Amino acid sequence: MSSSTYRIRPASEADIPTLIQLAEATWEPTYRSILTKEQIDYMFEVIYSHDALAKQMLEGQTFLLVEDARQALGFASFSEKDASAKLYKLNKIYLLPQLQGQGMGRQLLQAVEQEVQKRGARALDLNVNRYNKAKTFYERCGYQVHEQVDIAIGPYWMNDYVMRKQLK
Protein backbone atom coordinates (compact mmCIF):
# COMPACT_ATOMS: atom_id res chain seq x y z
CA MET A 1 0.00 0.00 0.00
CA SER A 2 1.60 3.28 -1.04
CA SER A 3 1.61 6.23 1.34
CA SER A 4 -0.55 8.15 -1.15
CA THR A 5 -3.47 5.83 -0.39
CA TYR A 6 -3.52 6.52 3.35
CA ARG A 7 -2.90 9.41 5.69
CA ILE A 8 -1.67 9.82 9.24
CA ARG A 9 -3.38 12.44 11.36
CA PRO A 10 -3.68 13.40 15.02
CA ALA A 11 -6.55 11.69 16.80
CA SER A 12 -8.89 13.48 19.19
CA GLU A 13 -11.31 12.42 21.88
CA ALA A 14 -13.95 12.10 19.14
CA ASP A 15 -11.80 9.29 17.66
CA ILE A 16 -11.86 7.15 20.82
CA PRO A 17 -14.53 4.76 19.48
CA THR A 18 -12.32 4.20 16.40
CA LEU A 19 -9.25 3.59 18.60
CA ILE A 20 -11.22 1.02 20.61
CA GLN A 21 -12.40 -0.68 17.42
CA LEU A 22 -8.81 -0.89 16.13
CA ALA A 23 -7.57 -2.21 19.46
CA GLU A 24 -10.30 -4.88 19.44
CA ALA A 25 -9.13 -5.97 15.97
CA THR A 26 -5.41 -6.04 16.82
CA TRP A 27 -4.93 -6.99 20.45
CA GLU A 28 -6.03 -10.61 20.48
CA PRO A 29 -4.08 -11.58 17.33
CA THR A 30 -1.02 -9.73 18.65
CA TYR A 31 -0.95 -11.23 22.13
CA ARG A 32 -2.73 -14.60 22.01
CA SER A 33 0.54 -16.53 21.68
CA ILE A 34 2.17 -14.55 24.53
CA LEU A 35 -0.53 -13.88 27.14
CA THR A 36 -3.51 -15.77 28.54
CA LYS A 37 -6.99 -14.77 27.37
CA GLU A 38 -7.74 -13.60 30.92
CA GLN A 39 -4.70 -11.29 30.92
CA ILE A 40 -5.53 -9.94 27.46
CA ASP A 41 -9.13 -9.22 28.51
CA TYR A 42 -8.06 -7.59 31.79
CA MET A 43 -5.40 -5.38 30.24
CA PHE A 44 -7.65 -4.42 27.35
CA GLU A 45 -10.29 -3.17 29.78
CA VAL A 46 -7.68 -1.25 31.83
CA ILE A 47 -6.03 0.38 28.79
CA TYR A 48 -8.72 0.62 26.11
CA SER A 49 -11.98 1.55 27.80
CA HIS A 50 -13.37 4.90 26.63
CA ASP A 51 -12.56 6.48 30.00
CA ALA A 52 -9.02 5.06 30.06
CA LEU A 53 -8.23 6.43 26.59
CA ALA A 54 -9.73 9.83 27.43
CA LYS A 55 -7.58 9.94 30.58
CA GLN A 56 -4.46 9.02 28.58
CA MET A 57 -5.16 11.91 26.22
CA LEU A 58 -5.71 14.32 29.12
CA GLU A 59 -2.44 13.17 30.70
CA GLY A 60 -0.47 14.07 27.58
CA GLN A 61 -0.50 11.08 25.25
CA THR A 62 -0.70 12.13 21.62
CA PHE A 63 -2.48 9.65 19.36
CA LEU A 64 -1.91 9.37 15.61
CA LEU A 65 -4.47 7.61 13.44
CA VAL A 66 -3.74 5.96 10.08
CA GLU A 67 -6.65 5.81 7.68
CA ASP A 68 -7.50 5.42 4.04
CA ALA A 69 -10.61 6.69 2.26
CA ARG A 70 -12.72 3.83 3.68
CA GLN A 71 -11.55 3.04 7.20
CA ALA A 72 -9.08 3.47 10.05
CA LEU A 73 -6.11 1.14 9.62
CA GLY A 74 -4.05 1.61 12.78
CA PHE A 75 -2.80 4.00 15.41
CA ALA A 76 0.13 4.98 17.58
CA SER A 77 0.50 7.05 20.72
CA PHE A 78 3.44 8.75 22.38
CA SER A 79 4.22 11.00 25.32
CA GLU A 80 7.10 12.74 27.02
CA LYS A 81 8.96 10.38 29.35
CA ASP A 82 11.77 12.55 30.76
CA ALA A 83 11.85 16.24 29.87
CA SER A 84 15.38 16.86 31.13
CA ALA A 85 16.75 13.97 29.05
CA LYS A 86 14.59 14.98 26.06
CA LEU A 87 13.26 11.41 26.08
CA TYR A 88 9.87 10.40 24.71
CA LYS A 89 8.03 7.09 24.82
CA LEU A 90 6.08 5.27 22.13
CA ASN A 91 3.19 3.95 24.19
CA LYS A 92 1.26 2.10 21.49
CA ILE A 93 1.51 1.14 17.84
CA TYR A 94 -0.98 -1.19 16.18
CA LEU A 95 -2.04 -1.94 12.62
CA LEU A 96 -4.80 -4.21 11.41
CA PRO A 97 -3.22 -7.68 11.18
CA GLN A 98 -3.85 -8.02 7.43
CA LEU A 99 -1.79 -4.86 6.80
CA GLN A 100 1.28 -5.84 8.79
CA GLY A 101 4.45 -6.42 6.80
CA GLN A 102 3.60 -3.91 4.05
CA GLY A 103 5.65 -0.95 5.31
CA MET A 104 2.83 0.98 6.94
CA GLY A 105 4.10 0.23 10.45
CA ARG A 106 7.48 1.69 9.58
CA GLN A 107 5.76 4.78 8.14
CA LEU A 108 3.70 5.21 11.31
CA LEU A 109 6.76 4.74 13.51
CA GLN A 110 8.67 7.31 11.43
CA ALA A 111 5.75 9.74 11.79
CA VAL A 112 6.02 9.39 15.59
CA GLU A 113 9.80 9.87 15.46
CA GLN A 114 9.40 13.03 13.35
CA GLU A 115 6.72 14.42 15.67
CA VAL A 116 8.75 13.88 18.85
CA GLN A 117 11.82 15.38 17.18
CA LYS A 118 9.78 18.52 16.45
CA ARG A 119 9.11 18.61 20.19
CA GLY A 120 12.83 18.40 20.98
CA ALA A 121 13.28 14.67 21.61
CA ARG A 122 16.75 13.21 21.44
CA ALA A 123 15.61 9.61 21.96
CA LEU A 124 12.47 7.49 21.77
CA ASP A 125 11.80 4.52 24.04
CA LEU A 126 9.25 1.75 23.64
CA ASN A 127 8.31 -1.35 25.57
CA VAL A 128 7.88 -4.69 23.82
CA ASN A 129 7.02 -7.99 25.43
CA ARG A 130 10.14 -10.17 25.54
CA TYR A 131 8.29 -12.87 23.56
CA ASN A 132 6.72 -10.55 20.97
CA LYS A 133 8.02 -11.09 17.42
CA ALA A 134 7.64 -7.31 16.89
CA LYS A 135 11.04 -6.97 18.61
CA THR A 136 12.75 -7.82 15.31
CA PHE A 137 10.68 -5.12 13.54
CA TYR A 138 11.88 -2.54 16.05
CA GLU A 139 15.48 -3.70 15.66
CA ARG A 140 15.20 -3.27 11.87
CA CYS A 141 13.94 0.27 12.54
CA GLY A 142 17.03 1.13 14.59
CA TYR A 143 15.91 0.36 18.16
CA GLN A 144 18.15 -1.49 20.61
CA VAL A 145 17.39 -3.15 23.92
CA HIS A 146 18.12 -0.62 26.66
CA GLU A 147 16.87 -2.59 29.67
CA GLN A 148 14.62 -5.44 30.76
CA VAL A 149 11.62 -4.69 33.01
CA ASP A 150 8.78 -6.54 34.71
CA ILE A 151 5.68 -4.37 35.16
CA ALA A 152 2.68 -5.29 37.30
CA ILE A 153 -0.70 -4.57 35.74
CA GLY A 154 -3.29 -5.63 38.26
CA PRO A 155 -2.67 -9.31 39.05
CA TYR A 156 -0.59 -9.81 35.88
CA TRP A 157 2.96 -9.09 34.80
CA MET A 158 4.31 -7.64 31.59
CA ASN A 159 7.79 -8.99 30.92
CA ASP A 160 9.23 -6.37 28.58
CA TYR A 161 12.30 -5.05 26.92
CA VAL A 162 12.65 -1.29 26.90
CA MET A 163 14.09 -0.48 23.49
CA ARG A 164 15.58 2.89 22.60
CA LYS A 165 16.50 4.74 19.46
CA GLN A 166 18.68 7.82 19.44
CA LEU A 167 17.15 10.45 17.17
CA LYS A 168 19.14 12.88 15.05
Residue 17 covered by a domain: yes
Reported as a single tens digit per residue, the pLDDT across 43-89 is 999 999 999 999 999 999 999 999 999 999 999 999 999 999 999 99
Domain count, the chain: 1
Question: What are 128's strand-pairing partners?
Answer: 161
Domain that holds residue 64: 3-124
Residue 28 covered by a domain: yes
Reported as a single tens digit per residue, the pLDDT across 104-153 is 999 999 999 999 999 999 999 999 999 999 999 999 999 999 999 999 99
Residue 162 covered by a domain: no
pLDDT of res. 4: 58
Least confident of 2-16, 57-71, 86-100: 2-16
Whether pLDDT at 2 is above 90: no
Residue 133 covered by a domain: no
Residue 83 covered by a domain: yes
pLDDT confidence of 168, banded at 50, 70, 90? confident
Cα–Cα distance for residue pair 140/134, rounded to 1 Å: 10
Residue 117 covered by a domain: yes
Residue 103 covered by a domain: yes
Residue 167 covered by a domain: no
CATH classification at residue 69: 3.40.630.30
pLDDT of res. 25: 95
